[in-house]
């Protein structure tokens, strides 16, 4: 059984993530992909969420060149957005992380929520790296126009802009706004996952795992909830580790992992 610090790899453990990360050696994790309990800073379902301690441990255990993806949204109270996401992002940067990117997770299907403001349809995906990322496998999309076309060539001394036949690129790197359907059949087909109220889409987890890691790398979700990150890491042959403070959620996550062995590879 392979271990990292005190923890059996490729498993999910029910424990406060500060305590568990304290038992993980420095510079040992390739990717941390997680989503904290938004704006329930001191009390989440009766549990403690200590952001500064969590962020400090995350920085210590991330490998040099490793990446942290922090998926977070702000709550609105009395018409006032908390901006907690920004405060957390600045704290990560002050700890020494490089703010590699600020990405948007856009939700395709969001209910109308406010009478005097536009419907919020996104969360942030802050991408931090410890130095420059070791791995970037850019995800690609097909370009609209393909094949051969007359392209502008460099001007010659006569000042004439000659055009020459050239091959258009068949694909281009994605932008940093990623859109996903949410809800059953969107985020996941696992009905059991919806016993957790705040899951992120499986495809979001896959896209980050593929972008920032290679097979056999170690992916950690210290607040793994229904286990989305761990499930996708397992499916894509990464080593994984998941923690959650709630036993109910750990049971859901473990069940989803069990289903992975029973299901064929998902057709993403
Ligand atoms: C937004 S949810 C994560 C959902 C997850 N991304 C998914 O797709 O299911 C945040 C999780 O953090 C967990 N949590 C809160 N405080 C924690 C702590 N101190 N240690 C570990 N987990 C904690 C909660 O139980 C909750 O499941």
Give per-residue pLDDT as tens, 112-122: 778 899 999 99
Q: Write down the pLDDT at residue 65.
A: 98
- Which of 18, 31, 34, 44 should be mutated for ligand 1, with most atoms under 8 A from CB? 44
- Which of 225, 255, 256 should be mutated for ligand 1, with most atoms under 8 A from CB? 225
Q: Write down the pLDDT at residue 228.
A: 98
Q: Is the CB of 230 under 6 A from ligand 1?
A: no
pLDDT band at 173 (very low <50, low <70, confident <90, very high): very high
Average pLDDT, rounded, for the chain: 90
Q: Is the CB of 17 under 6 A from ligand 1?
A: yes
> Once rounded to an integer, what is the mean pLDDT over residues 85-110?
96
**Integer Cα distance of 160 and 164 in angstroms:** 12
Q: How far is the CA of 263 from the centre of ligand 1 (A)?
A: 25
Q: How far is the CA of 107 from the centre of ligand 1 (A)?
A: 20
Ligand 1: nearest atom to the Cα of 243 = 21
To 5 degrees, how large is the angle CA 15–CA 38–CA 119? 150
pLDDT at 241 over 80: yes
pLDDT in tens, 180-234: 999 888 899 888 888 888 999 999 999 999 999 999 999 999 999 999 999 999 9
- Which residues does residue 80 pair with via DSSP β-bridges, in sequence order? 77
Ligand 1: nearest atom to the Cα of 222 = 21
Q: Is the CB of 200 under 6 A from ligand 1?
A: yes
To 5 degrees, how large is the angle CA 211–CA 90–CA 5? 60
Ligand 1: nearest atom to the Cα of 16 = 20
Q: Is the CB of 74 under 6 A from ligand 1?
A: no
Q: Is the CB of 188 under 6 A from ligand 1?
A: no
Q: Write down the pLDDT at residue 35.
A: 97
Structure tokens that stand for 98 in this block: 């490089």
> Shortest CA distance to 198 belongs to which of 87, 18, 73, 85?
73
> Once rounded to an integer, what is the mean pLDDT over residues 164-186?
91
pLDDT at 145 over 90: no
Q: Is the CB of 35 under 6 A from ligand 1?
A: yes
Lowest mean per-residue pLDDT among 8-12, 45-49, 65-69? 45-49
pLDDT band at 39 (very low <50, low <70, confident <90, very high): low
Q: Write down the pLDDT at residue 47.
A: 55
Q: Is the CB of 105 under 6 A from ligand 1?
A: no
**Integer Cα distance of 229 and 238 in angstroms:** 11
Q: Write down the pLDDT at residue 40.
A: 61
Ligand 1: nearest atom to the Cα of 34 = 6
Superfamily for domain range 3-139+175-262: Vaccinia Virus protein VP39 (3.40.50.150)
pLDDT band at 42 (very low <50, low <70, confident <90, very high): very low
Ranges of each domain in the chain: 3-139+175-262, 146-173
> Once rounded to an integer, what is the mean pLDDT over residues 57-76?
96
Q: Is the CB of 268 under 6 A from ligand 1?
A: no
């Amino acid at each position: 059984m392979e271990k990292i610090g005190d923890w059996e790899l490729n498993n999910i453990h029910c424990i406060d993530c500060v305590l568990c990360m304290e038992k993980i050696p420095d510079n040992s994790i390739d990717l941390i992909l997680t989503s904290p309990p938004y704006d329930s800073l001191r009390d989440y379902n009766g549990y403690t969420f200590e952001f500064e301690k969590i962020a400090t441990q995350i920085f210590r255990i991330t490998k040099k060149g490793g990446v942290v993806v922090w998926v977070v949204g702000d709550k609105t109270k009395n018409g006032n957005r908390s901006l907690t996401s920004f405060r957390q992002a600045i704290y990560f940067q002050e700890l020494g992380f490089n703010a590699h990117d600020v990405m948007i997770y856009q939700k395709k299907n969001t209910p109308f929520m406010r009478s005097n403001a536009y419907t919020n349809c996104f969360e942030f995906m802050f991408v931090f790296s410890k130095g420059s990322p070791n791995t970037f496998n850019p995800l690609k999309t097909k370009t609209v126009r393909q094949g051969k076309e007359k392209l502008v060539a460099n001007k010659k001394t006569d000042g004439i802009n000659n055009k020459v036949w050239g091959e258009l690129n068949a694909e281009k790197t994605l932008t940093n706004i990623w859109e996903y359907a949410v809800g059953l059949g969107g985020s996941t087909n696992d009905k059991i996952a919806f016993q957790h109220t705040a899951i992120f889409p499986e495809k979001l987890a896959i896209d980050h795992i593929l972008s920032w890691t290679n097979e056999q790398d170690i992916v950690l979700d210290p607040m793994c909830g229904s286990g989305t990150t761990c499930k996708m890491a397992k499916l894509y042959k990464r080593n994984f580790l998941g923690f959650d403070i709630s036993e109910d959620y750990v049971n859901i996550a473990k069940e989803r992992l069990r289903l992975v062995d029973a299901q064929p590879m998902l057709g993403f």
